[in-house]
């Protein structure tokens, strides 16, 4: 009797794995027994339905149980040497034929023994024959066979694994050996949590995933693993939160509170109820001893800027520095201007810090370093090494998805226990924000200022766009401006889309010959982009033809129409973002989707649903379901943990439950997960918990 195995044992402890295979596994990140049992199948073959040879109808995968009557090697090398095995199951004779590894199979496939056989039969000379079927000897008292006659796991294997003899069959056998030798897989949460919530014991869940008894068992096992992966993530997030909260900051924000209130009173408009709520949440965080880490989600135009300014004024009027990081110069300038308009007549010194060749840059840097400047608004240039603050109290990051995690760290670490407010205009579905920003507090602006028109979304077939052009003519005549959006820049031979270039020429030449039209796309330099944007901003340009590079945050009250070509090419959340660029002034606003011929009917329904809703969260949920979490933010920000089984779309319930449980745990004193090496591995090595902050 072999001794029991431990999760941390090397693979060579398993019967059948030698040092050569061990090193191939290791190249694929599978080093220990634990790694191997967590190497879950890619898919399954259902070989559980057994039928009689006489019942075979067509060449679908089937399984039979039959005795070997005899085997013979036929032909020579040229004449296709092959092993032909006659199988008899009491109804008919079928053949199993092998062209490769003949010597191996001759030894294994002994006449008189009964085998279970799976494969795709084909008719040959009036007999059913199987070419290289899965065959496994049926021995009495040995229980369910491993490779056929059941739901059989298929593993995802690299070329190198295959070449070194690591097949799905091999892995099945290895894992079966682990379980039969006995390996203790602890489940420290079983009694208290899993059992109560109808999950499996961790050991059973893993076993079911490799050797499921039926397909329903797979689902339940996956839910169990998903729950544990989420729990591991949430426990880590809670630990980080705990650590951050233990970092007592000592700033005294008493003085600024009044100034911040006065600022709010002085605004030319009343705050919306949700702005008020969010501002008070932020004030609480600022006054609190723990450094703030808060994500503010608010649809485009919901008024995040004044919220940020109220917080910055609170900090700056208390004598500390507050910085606002914006992704582009245009946005930085816009915020700077807004600040001056709304608070310019107070004695609070403010600095705008932008790209390389800014005038007086050295002086600005000094002002920041010496603490002369209390409010600092800037672009990526704030991240530069030689920018240091005298005492940075608060950092606000606008359009946070435009910045990477390291950039956030960089700016936060320019202060000590810096309070941090991240802002995003993309409503993030709850399940996604829990996994991406689980460590943060969440504030939501879910209403727009009342004087704002809702944007009406209209669908037109591209073939009937003349009517659209006519209406737009009228609006242009009234002094309105128009965004015209295309999904790509240039015509390409492979994708038949109207490109922004061609569209630009077309609009300029034939459709709106007397209108000033500008073109904006991703191949322009940052400087060129800014200058095109500027000419739209100051009203010189009337129609801005653009790819999606136009700024989310830019506030152009005069633009009331956005036309989107090939809307089927965009994600719904992205369409919603685009739509948010109009309707910022007081006049009626429209989003016009120009639909191509032959639009897929399902896509059309989706776009119609989109047109009906103005609820960013609802649309974000739809988008997440349609596109999956990886694509939700596009390319810049992903950082979702590499879960093995957990999927935030399908396992939303498990995610919420794991969050609740992690929050109710005594994170500091609960020792159960200290050595829970099992799930430390769930997050791949070097995996940053996204949103994880170092304070």
Nearer to ligand ADP by C-beta: 331 or 689? 331
Question: Which residue has 């609170």 as its token pair?
Answer: 314
Nearer to ligand ADP by C-beta: 454 or 492? 454
β-pair type (62-74, 114-119):
antiparallel
Residue 529 contact partner, candidates ligand ADP, Mg ion, none, CB within 5 to 8 A by sort of partner: none
- In contact, 509 and 499? CB cutoff 8 Å: no
Residues lying near ligand ADP in the complex (CB under 6 A) are found at 269, 271-272, 275, 298, 300-306, 425, 449, 451, 553, 555, 584
Spatial separation of the C-alpha atoms in residues 678 and 297, rounded to whole Å: 35
Q: Comparing C-alpha atoms, which of 63, 37, 327 is closest to residue 183?
A: 37
- In contact, 503 and 488? CB cutoff 8 Å: no
CA dihedral (3, 9, 10, 14) positive or negative: positive
Nearer to Mg ion by C-beta: 65 or 306? 306
Tell me how far, at minimum, the Cβ of 305 lies from ligand ADP, in Å: 3
Largest CA distance in the chain: 100
Q: Comparing C-alpha atoms, which of 527, 475, 485, 488 is closest to residue 507?
A: 485
Nearer to ligand ADP by C-beta: 334 or 658? 334
Spatial separation of the C-alpha atoms in residues 18 and 511, rounded to whole Å: 73
Residue 648 contact partner, candidates ligand ADP, Mg ion, none, CB within 5 to 8 A by sort of partner: none
Nearer to ligand ADP by C-beta: 271 or 422? 271
Residue 567 contact partner, candidates Mg ion, ligand ADP, none, CB within 5 to 8 A by sort of partner: none
Residue 540 contact partner, candidates Mg ion, ligand ADP, none, CB within 5 to 8 A by sort of partner: none
Nearer to ligand ADP by C-beta: 175 or 306? 306
Spatial separation of the C-alpha atoms in residues 148 and 242, rounded to whole Å: 50
Nearer to Mg ion by C-beta: 423 or 543? 423
Total site size for Mg ion, rule CB under 5 A:
1
Q: Is 178 exposed, middle or buried (0-12, 13-18, 19+ CB in 10 A)?
A: buried
Residue 300 contact partner, candidates Mg ion, ligand ADP, none, CB within 5 to 8 A by sort of partner: ligand ADP
Spatial separation of the C-alpha atoms in residues 560 and 459, rounded to whole Å: 16
Tell me how far, at minimum, the Cβ of 327 lies from Mg ion, in Å: 10
Tell me how far, at minimum, the Cβ of 449 lies from ligand ADP, in Å: 3
Nearer to Mg ion by C-beta: 251 or 304? 304
Tell me how far, at minimum, the Cβ of 541 lies from ligand ADP, in Å: 20
Nearer to ligand ADP by C-beta: 584 or 681? 584
Residue 153 contact partner, candidates Mg ion, ligand ADP, none, CB within 5 to 8 A by sort of partner: none
- What lies within 8 Å, CB to CB, of 255 at 6+ separation is 317, 318, 319
Residue 251 contact partner, candidates Mg ion, ligand ADP, none, CB within 5 to 8 A by sort of partner: none
Residue 302 contact partner, candidates Mg ion, ligand ADP, none, CB within 5 to 8 A by sort of partner: ligand ADP
Secondary structure string (H, E, C) spanning 401-459: HHCCHHHHHHHHCCCCCCEEEEEECCCCCHHHHHHHCCCCEEEEECCCCCCCCCEEEEE
Secondary structure string (H, E, C) spanning 70-137: EEEEECCCCCCCEEEEEEECCCCEEEEEECCCHHHHHHHCCCCCEEEEEECEEEECCEEEEECCEEEE
Tell me how far, at minimum, the Cβ of 555 lies from ligand ADP, in Å: 5
Pick from 298, 378, 427, 553: which binds Mg ion (CB under 5 A)? 553
CA dihedral (54, 59, 62, 68) positive or negative: positive
Tell me how far, at minimum, the Cβ of 526 lies from Mg ion, in Å: 19
Nearer to ligand ADP by C-beta: 451 or 598? 451
Spatial separation of the C-alpha atoms in residues 441 and 281, rounded to whole Å: 10
Residue 269 contact partner, candidates ligand ADP, Mg ion, none, CB within 5 to 8 A by sort of partner: ligand ADP
Nearer to ligand ADP by C-beta: 334 or 435? 334
Tell me how far, at minimum, the Cβ of 662 lies from ligand ADP, in Å: 31
Tell me how far, at minimum, the Cβ of 639 lies from Mg ion, in Å: 22
Residue 373 contact partner, candidates ligand ADP, Mg ion, none, CB within 5 to 8 A by sort of partner: none
Residue 328 contact partner, candidates Mg ion, ligand ADP, none, CB within 5 to 8 A by sort of partner: none
Q: Per-residue string for binding with Mg ion, 512-551, x by CB under 5 A?
A: ----------------------------------------
- What lies within 8 Å, CB to CB, of 631 at 6+ separation is 571
DSSP 3: P
Nearer to ligand ADP by C-beta: 124 or 269? 269
Residue 555 contact partner, candidates ligand ADP, Mg ion, none, CB within 5 to 8 A by sort of partner: ligand ADP
Spatial separation of the C-alpha atoms in residues 142 and 115, rounded to whole Å: 13
Tell me how far, at minimum, the Cβ of 374 lies from ligand ADP, in Å: 21
Q: Comparing C-alpha atoms, which of 394, 397, 445 is closest to residue 287?
A: 394
Tell me how far, at minimum, the Cβ of 493 lies from ligand ADP, in Å: 39
- Residue 503 is a binding residue for Mg ion (CB under 5 A): no
Binding site for Mg ion (CB under 5 A): 553
């Amino acid at each position: 009797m072999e001794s029991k195995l431990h999760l941390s044992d090397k693979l060579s402890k398993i019967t059948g794995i030698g040092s050569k295979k061990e090193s191939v596994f290791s190249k694929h990140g599978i080093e220990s027994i634990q790694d191997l049992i967590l190497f879950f199948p890619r898919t399954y073959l259902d070989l559980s339905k057994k039928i009689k040879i006489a019942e075979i109808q067509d060449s679908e995968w089937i399984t039979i149980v039959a005795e070997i009557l005899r085997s013979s090697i036929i032909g020579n090398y040229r004449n296709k040497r092959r092993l032909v095995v006659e199988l008899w199951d009491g109804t008919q004779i079928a053949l199993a034929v092998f062209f490769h590894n003949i010597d191996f199979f001759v030894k294994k496939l002994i006449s008189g023994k009964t085998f279970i056989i799976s494969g795709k039969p084909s008719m040959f000379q009036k007999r059913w024959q199987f070419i290289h079927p899965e065959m496994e000897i049926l021995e009495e008292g040995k229980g369910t066979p491993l490779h056929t006659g059941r739901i059989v796991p298929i593993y995802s294997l690299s070329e190198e694994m295959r070449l070194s003899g690591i097949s799905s069959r091999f892995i099945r056998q290895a894992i079966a050996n682990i379980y039969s030798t006995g390996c203790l897989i602890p489940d420290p949460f079983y009694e208290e949590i899993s059992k109560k919530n109808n999950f499996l014991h961790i050991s059973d869940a893993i076993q079911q995933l490799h050797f499921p008894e039926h397909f329903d068992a797979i689902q339940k096992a996956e839910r169990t693993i998903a729950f544990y992966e989420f729990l591991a993530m949430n426990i880590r997030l809670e630990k980080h939160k705990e650590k951050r909260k233990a970092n007592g900051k000592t700033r005294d924000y008493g003085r600024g509170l009044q100034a911040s209130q006065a600022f709010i009173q002085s605004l030319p408009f009343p705050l919306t109820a949700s702005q008020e709520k969010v501002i008070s949440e932020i004030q609480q965080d600022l006054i609190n001893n723990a450094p703030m880490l808060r994500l503010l989600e608010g649809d485009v135009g919901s008024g995040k800027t004044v919220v940020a300014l109220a917080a910055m004024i609170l900090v700056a009027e208390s004598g500390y520095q507050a910085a606002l990081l914006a992704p582009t110069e245009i946005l930085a300038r816009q915020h700077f201007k807004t600040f001056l308009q709304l608070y310019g007549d107070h004695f609070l010194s403010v600095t705008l810090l932008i790209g390389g060749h800014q005038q007086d840059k050295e002086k600005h840097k000094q002002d920041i370093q010496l603490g002369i400047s209390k409010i600092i608004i800037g672009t990526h240039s704030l991240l530069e090494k030689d920018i240091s603050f005298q005492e940075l109290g608060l950092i606000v990051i606008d359009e946070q998805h435009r910045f990477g995690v390291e950039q956030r760290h960089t700016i936060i670490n320019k202060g000590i226990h810096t309070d941090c407010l991240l802002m995003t205009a993309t409503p993030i579905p709850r399940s996604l924000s829990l996994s991406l920003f689980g460590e943060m507090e969440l504030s939501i602006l879910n209403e727009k200022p009342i004087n704002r028109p809702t944007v009406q979304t209209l669908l037109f077939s591209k073939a009937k766009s003349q009517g659209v052009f006519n209406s737009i003519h009228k609006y242009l005549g009234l002094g309105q401006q128009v965004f015209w959006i295309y999904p790509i820049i240039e015509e390409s031979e492979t994708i038949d889309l109207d490109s922004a270039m061609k569209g630009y020429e077309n609009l300029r030449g034939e459709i709106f010959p007397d209108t000033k039209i500008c073109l904006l796309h991703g191949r322009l330099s940052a400087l060129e982009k800014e200058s095109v944007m500027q000419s739209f901003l100051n009203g010189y340009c009337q129609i801005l033809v653009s790819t999606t590079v136009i700024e989310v945050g830019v506030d152009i009250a005069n633009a009331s129409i956005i036309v989107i070509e090939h809307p089927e090419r965009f994600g719904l959340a992205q369409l919603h973002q685009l739509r948010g660029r109009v309707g910022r002034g007081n006049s009626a606003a429209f989003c016009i989707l120009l639909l191509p011929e032959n639009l897929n009917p399902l896509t059309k329904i989706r776009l119609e649903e989109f047109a009906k809703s103005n609820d960013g969260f609802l649309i974000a949920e739809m988008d997440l379901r349609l596109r999956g979490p990886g694509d939700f933010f596009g390319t810049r920000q992903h950082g979702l943990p590499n879960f093995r089984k957990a999927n935030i779309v399908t396992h939303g319930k498990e995610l919420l439950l794991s969050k609740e449980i992690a929050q109710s745990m005594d994170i500091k004193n609960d020792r159960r997960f200290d050595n829970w090496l099992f799930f430390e591995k769930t997050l791949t090595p070097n995996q940053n918990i996204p949103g994880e902050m170092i304070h």
